[in-house]
Structure 1
Amino acid sequence: MEGAARPVPGDPLPLGLSRGPRVTRTKQLDFLHRFMASPLVPSFSASGAGLSVHHAHLVHLAHNLSFTILEQLHVQKLVAVVKEKLSNRQEVSWSNDIKRHLHDVMSLGVGTELLITPDTTLLLELYNLKKGDRGKAIFRHKLPHQNITLEASWPGLFIDKNGVYWDVPLSLSADLASVGSESGLSYHVLLQQNSGEPKCFGGGEETSDVPVALLPGLCAKAAVSIKKSIDVWRKKEDKLKNVQPYDVFLSEPHVSFTGIIGAVASGSFGDCSKRMSMQNEILKSNAFKYFDERNKFAAFADLFASVNFTAQHGNFQRLLLDLTRVSARLDISSGSLFLRGASQLAQDFFFSRRPDLETFCDVCPDVIVSLQQQIVGPFSFRVESTVTIDPKKQDHFVRVDDSVFAIDWALKVLGSAKATAWYSPKHQEAMVELRFFET
């Protein structure tokens, strides 16, 4: 019902998760109901409740106050109840039987949002009211050049790099982030407190180890980066006059590169500090690291970098085949490990030594490639995949680890927004959501 999960600290953002600005799930559902003729919005999770449909009733109590009732219907459970009823020869009234199973097939939630000032909002949501075990409170304030977010979740929902969801009984966070820009300096400061033992979401059996970063404790993290975009080629002519593109950010054919380089520093108190002594990437790198097991304190600092290549053909104005877009992103999560490996490979080359495969793996970046192709009008098909380069496996030197397939419906009236229906075959998940300013 929440429609959102935070990545585990230190893990990359899994495919499928939005990287653009988000609105609350409540507002997403309300928009889909009102303007896209979708009274029921589906989602699917093979490891959870299977196929579900969602609906939201949004009521404006005042010009700055709204109240919402959230409904989630578990379709597969409902079908099972109906089959059981049809196969049961005993004459039991349908109404009594449905009431008996209503607890299993439907979940209810409520939420309220208060607009304190034009730049300040307070959101309170409670999920699964029958059990009364999920909720969150979010305070947001916009400054001229920063965004402040204070959040309390009980439990906090996180997703790790393998796509596994985890519940932390209580998660508190304070977030300060600079407003994003095409180029220049940006920064992000996060303070997070986790309490209680993490458990696999939904109460299922834990098939993987609990992420150490989610263990109880306090973590402070700060990151600063510099971003630079370079256009190799951009064509601003040949646009149709008086025809608005389906997405203003996808209206110019171009070939461009974007580079990001930055530094991150963190300090941890409590059980979550054990992460510094357990991750192989941290132990092998030359990054600054300090771990005091007795006092449960750890500190860490490192560099990171990212390079993104994008090529686009078409203006996304015409009815058919007016957008083809490919991109590839190379992420270096540990700059110190990369520099250490690159230095070792340079020495091996200079002295004509055979390079170590482990060292070669250290300099291989994480690669994400994507392709977007217009189908007709505002509809386009998109596929995004992670590509792993592993010289240790000669038969699978390059392999595709994960892919997400999506159909995007560009919402022309909003400038740069889209309704996205995506599916992940690896994790057997699917969802329909709104995304903004995401290219």
Structure 2
Amino acid sequence: MKKLRWTMDDGFGDLDMSTSITIDGIARPVPGDSLPLGLSRGTKLSRPKQIDFMQRFMSAFFLPSYADHPARVGDGLALQRVLTFPFGENWIATFLGQFNLQKLASSLKDKGSREPPESSWLKNLGKHLCDKSMYAFGFCSEFLITPNDTLLVSSEACGDKKRYRKKAVLDHKFPQHNLTVEATSPGLFVDKVGTYWDVPLLITADLASVPSDSGFNDHFCIHYISGAAKQFNSDQTGPIPPSLLPGLYVKSAFSIKKNVDIWRRKSGKLKMVQPFDIFLSDPHISASATVGTVATASFRDNSVRLKREDELQGYGRFDVNFPGKKCAFLADLFASVSCTAQHGNFQRLFLDLSQLHARLDFPSGSKFLSGAARLVQDLNNSQPPDLAALHAICPNVTLSLQQQIVGPFSFRIDSRVSFDFNSRGWHTHVDESMFAIEYALQVLGSAKAIAWYSTKHREAMVELRFFET
């Protein structure tokens, strides 16, 4: 297992997200959309390596995954297993096989009712097991070129489809930055409503500083999209997100982060007992604030931007469009404020960890300032507050609760809350939720196997995560 760098997700970076609809378990959020709740992760082991780790050290013969998207993107419950082929210290190849268990059960039920009574059940089962549509395969080869350079090449396909998904990824570690260059065909994206999109060719370059608890962070990325996007595994047509139209997309972000411990207790720990997670061993109350600026440039077709309702109301971001030259520029501020409260040391067997985390994200500083100025004007003129201005200043709210059940097992729920303002008052509602059971891998210090389910995406999977706080 190669050395992993610690990564953090402040909610504004373009990170891969975990998904169970593909073999490699990775998709990208549509540029400009908020990151899907709870699914976004930083650098981690590839999906085949995660499964191989669980097979070797956690006695997991098969690993389950589930995808039952409302648009039938997935086919229900599937089982995955990996075969590993090490070729020396610097080269490893893996073969990942997936068997669709739920599809087999459905086929047996549907066709069994139409088969004659004298038909052999075992013969029918064998016939279904030979059906290519029950299987999906993925091949991955990873080369350690130098201690700081890794090349990954992968290909995956479903048994009943001739279309392959191919990927090549080059990772390089600078002293204070990570560089990732990737080419994918087709590239997979997911928009804010949960629709998956395929683009024929996606080429990206991503340079990001290694985050710290407090200090400066910078992030620079380039996306090149070729060809017309279409919905994943579906013949349905709909409005294509403008940022997925063919062209070049460049983004640069710079932020300052500050963490503050309001209260932390170091005493009270059990002697000679290692916590299940070293990052969750101190009861504390802490706060964090991030302020930054982001600038983007779009060229060719994806420079066309849909006019949003808030932009028509005058609460948009600073952007400049040149339709004749097919280019657009945008600059804005963003901010995030979070607070975490923890009780317990996560050492005892029962109820020794309770953690509550709340985060407020302000993705558009110009929109917030415009809305705040409008509200101040309404108050000075003794007028009722403008509803659009109230929407403009409302942050994206994310709440997370984690509770130890027994030993290394804990339950976690993440929810995204939004506010709805109308003439009759205001209401809060939950946009999406993630439910998870976590198993802390005590021997690794801060790592865990997590089984999660997304109510919005109707997906579930088991994966490894490292160095999460």
Amino acid at match of 1:127: E
Q: Is the 8 A contact 1:14 1:162 kept in 2?
A: no
Equivalents in 2 of 1:166, 1:371: separation in Å?
31
Q: How far did residue 393 of structure 1 move? A: 6.8
Q: Is the 8 A contact 1:285 1:334 kept in 2?
A: no
Which aligned pairs between 1:3-22 and structure 2 lie closer than 5 A? 3-22=25-44
Q: Is the 8 A contact 2:222 2:251 kept in 1?
A: yes
Q: Is the 8 A contact 1:156 1:168 kept in 2?
A: yes
Of 7, 23, 35 in structure 1, the residue corresponding to residue 45 of structure 2 is 23
| 1:325-369 deviations in Å (ceiling 9; x for gaps) | 001100001001101111221222233322111111100001011
Q: How far did residue 96 of structure 1 move? A: 6.7
Q: Is 178-187 or 340-349 further displaced after alignment?
A: 340-349
Aligned to 2:375: 345
Aligned to 2:139: 110
Aligned to 1:78: 104
Q: Is the 8 A contact 1:321 1:375 kept in 2?
A: yes
Q: Is the 8 A contact 2:310 2:388 kept in 1?
A: no
- Structure 2 unaligned residues grouped into runs of 5+: 1-22
Q: How far did residue 204 of structure 1 move? A: 4.7
Of 347, 354, 359 in structure 2, the residue corresponding to residue 317 of structure 1 is 347
- Structure 1 unaligned residues grouped into runs of 5+: none
**CA shift in 2, pair 1:245/1:394, >3 Å:** farther
Q: Is the 8 A contact 1:20 1:437 kept in 2?
A: no
Which aligned pairs between 1:352-363 and structure 2 lie closer than 5 A? 352-363=382-393
Of 115, 125, 128 in structure 1, the residue corresponding to residue 157 of structure 2 is 128
Which aligned pairs between 1:390-409 and structure 2 lie closer than 5 A? 390-392=420-422, 394=424, 397-409=427-439
Amino acid at match of 2:411: F
**CA shift in 2, pair 1:346/1:85, >3 Å:** closer
Q: How far did residue 6 of structure 1 move? A: 0.9
Q: Is the 8 A contact 2:133 2:158 kept in 1?
A: no
Equivalents in 1 of 2:355, 2:268: separation in Å?
18
Q: Is the 8 A contact 1:42 1:54 kept in 2?
A: yes
Aligned to 1:416: 446
Secondary structure (helix, strand or coil) at the match of 2:341 reads strand
Aligned to 1:336: 366
Q: How far did residue 77 of structure 1 move? A: 1.8
Q: Is the 8 A contact 2:265 2:284 kept in 1?
A: yes
**CA shift in 2, pair 1:81/1:321, >3 Å:** same
Q: Is 296-305 or 75-84 further displaced after alignment?
A: 75-84
Q: Is 214-223 or 82-91 further displaced after alignment?
A: 82-91
Aligned to 1:2: 24
Q: How far did residue 25 of structure 1 move? A: 0.5
1:194 aligns with 2:220: no
Q: What TM-score, normalized by structure 1, do the two folds share?
A: 0.95
**CA shift in 2, pair 1:36/1:318, >3 Å:** same
Secondary structure (helix, strand or coil) at the match of 1:294 reads helix
Secondary structure (helix, strand or coil) at the match of 1:390 reads strand
Q: How far did residue 423 of structure 1 move? A: 0.9
Q: How far did residue 246 of structure 1 move? A: 0.8
Equivalents in 2 of 1:52, 1:96: separation in Å?
18
Q: What TM-score, normalized by structure 2, do the two folds share?
A: 0.89
Which aligned pairs between 1:223-242 and structure 2 lie closer than 5 A? 223-242=253-272
Q: How far did residue 35 of structure 1 move? A: 1.2
Aligned to 2:194: 163
Equivalents in 2 of 1:94, 1:109: separation in Å?
27
Of 229, 252, 255 in structure 1, the residue corresponding to residue 282 of structure 2 is 252
Aligned to 2:9: none
Q: Is the 8 A contact 1:20 1:435 kept in 2?
A: no
Which aligned pairs between 1:25-104 and structure 2 lie closer than 5 A? 25-47=47-69, 48-83=74-109, 86-87=112-113, 88-89=115-116, 93=123, 97-98=127-128, 100-101=130-131, 103-104=132-133
| 1:234-279 deviations in Å (ceiling 9; x for gaps) | 111111111111111111111111000000001001111112x423
Secondary structure (helix, strand or coil) at the match of 1:266 reads strand
Equivalents in 2 of 1:377, 1:393: separation in Å?
50
**CA shift in 2, pair 1:332/1:176, >3 Å:** same
Aligned to 2:3: none
Q: Is the 8 A contact 1:246 1:410 kept in 2?
A: yes
Q: Is the 8 A contact 1:16 1:422 kept in 2?
A: no
Amino acid at match of 1:126: S
Aligned to 1:152: 183
Q: Is the 8 A contact 1:158 1:165 kept in 2?
A: yes
Equivalents in 2 of 1:359, 1:84: separation in Å?
54
Equivalents in 2 of 1:71, 1:31: separation in Å?
15
Percent identity between the two aligned chains:
50
Q: Is the 8 A contact 1:311 1:325 kept in 2?
A: yes
Q: How far did residue 203 of structure 1 move? A: 2.3
Aligned to 2:168: 137
Equivalents in 2 of 1:35, 1:282: separation in Å?
53
Q: Is 26-35 or 422-431 further displaced after alignment?
A: 422-431
Aligned length: 436
Equivalents in 1 of 2:126, 2:397: separation in Å?
55
Q: Is the 8 A contact 1:235 1:254 kept in 2?
A: yes
Aligned to 1:261: 291
